[in-house]
Structure 1
Amino acid sequence: NLFQICTNIQKKGWKIVRDRQGRIGPYAYLRDQWVSFDDIGMIRHKSEYIKAMGLGGGMIWALDLDDFRNECGCEEYPLLRTINRVLRDYKVADPKCVLGKGQHKPAVPSKPSTVKPTQKPPGWDVEGTSPEAPQPALEACNGNDFLPNTKQPISRLGFYTLQSCPSGLYWNKGHCDWPENTPCHPDSTTTEAPSGSADGGSSVPTVSTSIIDIPSSTQHYPSIEGEYKVVCYFTNWAWYRQGEGKYLPSDIDGSLCTHINYGFAVLDPNSLTIKPHDSWADIDNGKSKGIKVLIAIGGWNDSLGDKYSRLVNNPGARAKFISNVIEFIEQWGFDGLDLDWEYPKCWQVEQQVDCHKGPDSDKQGFASLVQELSQAFKPKGLLLSSAVSPSKAVIDAGYDVPALNRYFDWIAIMTYDFHGHWDKITGHVAPLYYYPEDIYDYFNANFSINYWIEKGADPKKLVMGMPLYGQSFTLADSSNYALNDPSYGPGEAGEFTRAGGFLAFYEICERVKSKSWTVKRDPLGRLGPYAHMGSQWVSYDDIADIRRKSQLVKTLGLGGGMIWALDLDDFRNRCGCGKHPLLKTLNHELRGTATDITMENCT
């Protein structure tokens, strides 16, 4: 039981070994005796996990095994009280105690040991701490990248939450630790491992602590209310639009995005290094609002040709690219990188993708680049994400899904552009579910997301893409305007976006409001509406469709939603539904934010 374990530690010199990241409880040993157990810190961690998972509560076995008589000098029922503090807002203050703290201080190990999961832990050479060790000067903290404290923000699924250490412990580079092990804590005896051995002449047994470094787990906490990502793409060409179509970084509403992907930087075809496509002078406007801002590289236009394939298939080029990217990110103050190669193995051919065009090695090469980027980014606290294809053919040919899942912080599935003017028949830009008129049963968001999960993606790492624009068509016969009716090609360009086959949501809603376009909707909500007038036809998502997609994000336990793009919503309220009606709907559904958007739809 607990009081027997703590008695062995406090009075009989048993040594303690702890997991650096707190994923398992400690164990203690002396000669041929060994015991694993949960201490206050682990009980608190499990109780926090109960809250994160939304479970019903906790159960203990058993009342008589806790330190119910306070034999160890902490408090009566220290483990059970810890559960109550976390789960039931127990009002009794934390005790001023740590297992093993007293007349004997735990030692700092000379070097953390790294144990592979297939190996048994080797023996540790644990050094003792001399009671007479000098206190460090406060200046010794200069240069450290953290401050010792009982609370510390930590990143979970890309969000920072406040981690509280149990009473008597302090934050120490990724985990709660003894005060004596925390560099620069006022009670610390040394900032370096002290000299001397555990049996260096003292007749009093020394309590010692070792740290083992267990390889990272791939398990993640579920998305819960307030933790969903809302990833927003900002396009640097939007500020060149005329009049009310111009969108500047200063137009970003910082409350509506958790992350912004700033698109795009490009890959230099000769040096295979990242380079800016335009000026980044205004990027601080986004960061000053407290948003995480990533630089996105690639996109449809920059993915043309073989340069990304040459990059990923050359280990030397990958290493050079990674070094260059880190320098670029640090120079411009970004928080990470978003990879938008469209697509490994499946290269572009006349606005379509051909999965026979690229070499098979693209799949492994891309996975290797992602792994190497992740390994270089994590020590620097940089984020790594990607926008990926929703196409079954591309997923099969181009993505090593388990590897990408392991190394990306999140994966945004571009669940849009399922249909467009290239089909020569009308179709919806982003169906949510299969509908009988569709030619393929896998051209919809529901199939794509579930297929990524089936292939090995953690749902909580997946972010559903949602279009704030429509795909437009010119009908072959204006009297035939249903789904799958023939079209000549792209619809007429919008007055602001000026690209054939494409209309921003604010251009669509204005056509419906002011030009009397006719709107058709699926009564079952399997796909968004389409609107038409004369020879012009456009499919898009409205408020109700963004709401339905947000609800699917929650139903499937995904990590959040992604929008393309900020400048395409009705950000100036041209149609009278309020500013950013689609993005505000997404935030209201996923993050519980208040909204002034009361309409069911804006068209």
Structure 2
Amino acid sequence: MQIVSAYVYGGRLLSVDEIKGNWLTHINYAFAVIRDGEIVHLFNQENLNVLKKVKRLYPHIKLIISVGGWGADGFSDAAFTESGRMKFAKTVAHFIKENDFDGVDLDWEYPSSDMAGIKARKEDKENFTLILREIRKALKELELEKQRPLLLTIAAGAEPWYLDGVDLKDIEPILDYMNLMTYDFYNGWSKKTGHHTNLFTPAHRPEDNSIDKAVKLFTDQGFPKHKLAIGAGFYGRGLRSVKATGNDILYADGSENFDVGYSTLVKDYIHKNGFKRYWDDSAKAPYLYDGDVFITYDDEESIFLKGQYVAKEQLGG
């Protein structure tokens, strides 16, 4: 079975009706955080009850608690000592048991790196492996009690620098699968237009990243394809004050970044208010432009092609 997973953000009160469980195999509930070395859920507690109801409606779904996210601190400290790793793993297992989840996803952005403004140490590389081992140990003990397997996954950066901060060969046997963050290739602070979640590297920009390039990066290092799940962006990355024409829209200069959710894209941007949809066939990626504002995003066509790619390459999802 291939993974069809969705990150469900808990920053507002969720409802059962909005979660299309028949379309999914896994739900990553995002995000819990780390406080004093323990996993903590800071959102509305009712969301946990909503997810339990979703699980009853769709018993095939695996509920996974995602810990961390961009700018979420606490990982380096929790992983730094043996006692800290044991403490954290124990609280992860407790959360899974108390809330009837099926696993945990560590979204440490990123081991050995302070680019997100979090604490980082050179020891993170080794300690990341050690804390994953401790979590796996705690999950195995809980599996005996619950009589069912529990999942341990991570979200991983899709660029070569990510591999400098982790021991990929050491962590691979510990993980059930890895969520490759194959989005934000052109991120929220770039002052040039470009694709943020393109399937292939653009023919005219061979130095650019892509999903295909990221998959090859990890598989060339020995990571098995069936344990890789690629990502799609249900949001767009925008840039204002872009002055370009014809084939020069991509990689043109702009001055103000913004994000926009897909529902808003459909409502206000795609084929609306002067925006024209363009298609980069080499990258298999759409973009919008109205003469001033540029938006890179995923739509039905690009996501369909990603699904075909997953099947063809026999990826995890």
Q: TM-score, normalised by structure 1?
A: 0.48
Matches within 5 A, 1:267-282: 267-268=34-35, 271-281=36-46, 282=50
What is residue 233 of structure 1 aligned with on the other side?
7
Alpha-carbon offset, residue 283 of structure 1: 2.2
1:453 aligns with 2:219: yes
Distance 2:40 2:222 in 1: 33
Q: Does the 8 Å contact 1:405/1:456 carry over to 2?
A: no
Distance 2:188 2:137 in 1: 41
What is residue 157 of structure 1 aligned with on the other side?
none
1:378 aligns with 2:144: no
Rg larger for: 1
Larger helix proportion, structure 1 or 2? 2
Distance 2:272 2:313 in 1: 38
Describe the superposition over 1:402-421 as per-residue Cα deviations: whole angstroms up to 9, x where unpaired: 22210111111010100024
Q: Does the 8 Å contact 1:469/1:541 carry over to 2?
A: yes
Residues 523 and 335 of structure 1: is their aligned pair in 2 closer, same or farther, counting only changes over 3 Å?
Answer: closer
Distance 1:230 1:513 in 2: 29
Matches within 5 A, 1:61-100: none
Q: In structure 2, what residue type is equivalent to 1:531?
A: L
Query: Which 5+ residue runs of structure 1 have no aligned equivalent?
Result: 1-226, 240-246, 491-500, 561-603
Matching residue within 102, 120, 123 for 1:361: 123
Number of residue pairs matched by the alignment:
304
Q: In structure 1, what residue type is equivalent to 2:273?
A: K
Alpha-carbon offset, residue 250 of structure 1: 3.0
The DSSP-based 3-state class of the residue aligned with 2:196 is: coil
Q: Does the 8 Å contact 1:420/1:427 carry over to 2?
A: no
Alpha-carbon offset, residue 478 of structure 1: 6.3
The DSSP-based 3-state class of the residue aligned with 1:548 is: helix
Q: Does the 8 Å contact 2:188/2:259 carry over to 1?
A: no
Q: In structure 2, what residue type is equivalent to 1:368?
A: L
Distance 2:185 2:52 in 1: 35
Identity %: 28
What is residue 404 of structure 1 aligned with on the other side?
171
What is residue 84 of structure 1 aligned with on the other side?
none
What is residue 512 of structure 1 aligned with on the other side?
270
1:295 aligns with 2:29: no
Describe the superposition over 1:358-388 as per-residue Cα deviations: whole angstroms up to 9, x where unpaired: 3321111001111121122124132111111
Q: Does the 8 Å contact 1:238/1:248 carry over to 2?
A: no
Matches within 5 A, 1:161-180: none
Distance 1:374 1:342 in 2: 20
Q: Does the 8 Å contact 1:312/1:368 carry over to 2?
A: yes
Distance 2:238 2:129 in 1: 35
Describe the superposition over 1:9-47 as per-residue Cα deviations: whole angstroms up to 9, x where unpaired: xxxxxxxxxxxxxxxxxxxxxxxxxxxxxxxxxxxxxxx
Distance 1:486 1:439 in 2: 19
What is residue 158 of structure 2 aligned with on the other side?
390
1:489 aligns with 2:247: no
1:554 aligns with 2:316: no
The DSSP-based 3-state class of the residue aligned with 1:412 is: strand
Distance 1:447 1:479 in 2: 28
Residues 503 and 373 of structure 1: is their aligned pair in 2 closer, same or farther, counting only changes over 3 Å?
Answer: same
Residues 426 and 392 of structure 1: is their aligned pair in 2 closer, same or farther, counting only changes over 3 Å?
Answer: same
Matching residue within 272, 286, 299 for 1:529: 286
What is residue 146 of structure 2 aligned with on the other side?
none
Distance 2:88 2:6 in 1: 25
1:339 aligns with 2:109: no
Alpha-carbon offset, residue 425 of structure 1: 0.5
Q: In structure 1, what residue type is equivalent to 2:40?
A: K
Q: Does the 8 Å contact 1:387/1:414 carry over to 2?
A: yes
1:433 aligns with 2:200: yes
Worse-superposed segment, 258-267 or 368-377: 368-377
Alpha-carbon offset, residue 390 of structure 1: 0.2
1:538 aligns with 2:295: yes
Distance 1:421 1:461 in 2: 28
Distance 2:189 2:124 in 1: 26
Query: Which 5+ residue runs of structure 2 have no aligned equivalent?
Result: 144-148
Q: Does the 8 Å contact 1:418/1:428 carry over to 2?
A: yes
Superposition CA RMSD, Å: 2.0
Alpha-carbon offset, residue 284 of structure 1: 1.2
Distance 1:552 1:446 in 2: 9
Alpha-carbon offset, residue 238 of structure 1: 4.7
Residues 523 and 476 of structure 1: is their aligned pair in 2 closer, same or farther, counting only changes over 3 Å?
Answer: closer
